């Protein structure tokens, strides 16, 4: 059991060259779809165990079954390893759906949010749309050029720390392709942002990545996508993990309220 009325199970996805650990959080009173979640940790840290409590509550609040992905970490595994693992988890969820969860979504916090946003782009390019993308304070610019990175030199994560993390994650690579398919390390590499799933996005007012997040939300909206953005006052980075997190509950309720109705008869 995961606690709080959520059943929990650990599995491993056979990706051919390696196994991807996943943890499934199924709310007993759930009526939503399947959400594949990528944890944060600057692409170099983080685990299913560290995110266990947060993903348990998120599943309970949203009513969606959450599949937390233990994707490969940098610098031992660089991009696109992390993206490949999340895409594999989405494909696994689709293939193993029992028909009771017709909706499939992707989400993540911090670096995991970056991966999730990129996965949504790849799925669009493949003609495999998702029901939603749920993004908690994802960084997007490897150079960390926005003014919000300089407002408070003591704020976490610092621009210096994030630039180092980006380097560990993607190196100096230009936008990557494989078999003619673009494998995004950041959505800023995308030539277009139309035809993407509805985006539910949250960021703290005091988070250094806020300018990245709000700029991306605007770009998504201008491209014709459905965007729900919430900026939390007096809130720092990593709020998704905080005990009694207002942001985590808001994201869960937003997914339940604004997306789950798609599964209802029209």
Range 176-209 burial, b when 16+ CB lie within 10 A, else e = eeeeeeebbbbbebbeebeebbbbbbbbbebbbb
Asked which of 4-8, 62-66, 110-114, 253-257 is least confident by mean pLDDT, the reply is 4-8
pLDDT of 95 above 70: yes
Average pLDDT (30-55) is: 95
> What is the C-alpha end-to-end distance of the chain, expressed in Å?
35
Per-domain boundaries in the chain: 6-263
Q: What is the pLDDT of residues 194-211, one digit of tens each?
A: 999 999 999 999 999 999
Active site residues: 110, 207, 237
Residue 167 in this model has a pLDDT that exceeds 80: yes
Element containing residue 201 per DSSP (H, E)? strand 199-204
- Helical residues (DSSP H) of 126-236, grouped into ranges: 159-170, 210-222
Mean pLDDT of the chain: 94
Rounded to the nearest angstrom, the gap between the alpha carbon of residue 15 and the centroid of all alpha carbons in its chain is 20
pLDDT tens-digit profile of 102-148?
Answer: 899 999 999 999 999 999 999 999 999 999 999 999 999 999 999 99
Spatial separation of the C-alpha atoms in residues 169 and 77, rounded to whole Å: 8
Q: What pTM was computed for the model?
A: 0.95
The CATH class of the 6-263 domain is alpha beta
Q: Over the stretch 216-266, which tens digit does the pLDDT of each residue have?
A: 999 999 999 999 999 999 999 999 999 888 999 999 999 998 665 554 443
Q: Is residue 100 over pLDDT 80?
A: no
């Amino acid at each position: 059991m995961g606690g709080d009325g959520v059943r929990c199970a650990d599995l491993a996805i056979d990706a051919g060259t390696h196994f991807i650990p996943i943890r499934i959080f199924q709310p007993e009173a759930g009526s939503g779809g399947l959400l594949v979640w990528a944890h944060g940790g600057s692409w170099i840290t983080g685990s299913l165990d560290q995110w266990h409590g947060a993903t348990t509550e998120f599943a309970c609040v949203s009513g969606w079954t959450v599949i937390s992905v233990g994707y490969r970490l940098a610098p031992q595994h660089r991009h696109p390893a992390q993206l490949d693992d999340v895409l594999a988890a989405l494909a696994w969820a689709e293939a193993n759906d029992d028909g009771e969860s017709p909706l499939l979504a992707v989400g993540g916090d911090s670096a995991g949010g970056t991966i999730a946003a990129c996965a949504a782009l790849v799925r669009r390019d493949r003609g495999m749309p998702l029901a939603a993308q749920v993004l908690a304070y994802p960084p997007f610019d490897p150079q960390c050029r926005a003014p919000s990175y300089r407002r408070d030199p003591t704020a976490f994560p610092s621009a210096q720390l994030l630039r180092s993390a980006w380097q560990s994650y993607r190196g100096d690579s230009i936008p990557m392709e494989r078999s003619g398919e673009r494998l995004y390390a950041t959505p800023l590499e995308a030539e277009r942002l139309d035809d993407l799933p509805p985006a539910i996005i949250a960021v703290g007012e005091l988070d250094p990545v806020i300018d990245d997040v709000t700029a991306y939300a605007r770009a998504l909206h201008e491209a014709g996508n459905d965007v729900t953005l919430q900026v939390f006052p007096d809130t720092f980075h990593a709020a998704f993990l905080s005990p009694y997190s207002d942001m985590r509950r808001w994201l869960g309720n937003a997914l339940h309220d604004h997306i789950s109705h798609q599964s209802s008869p029209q």
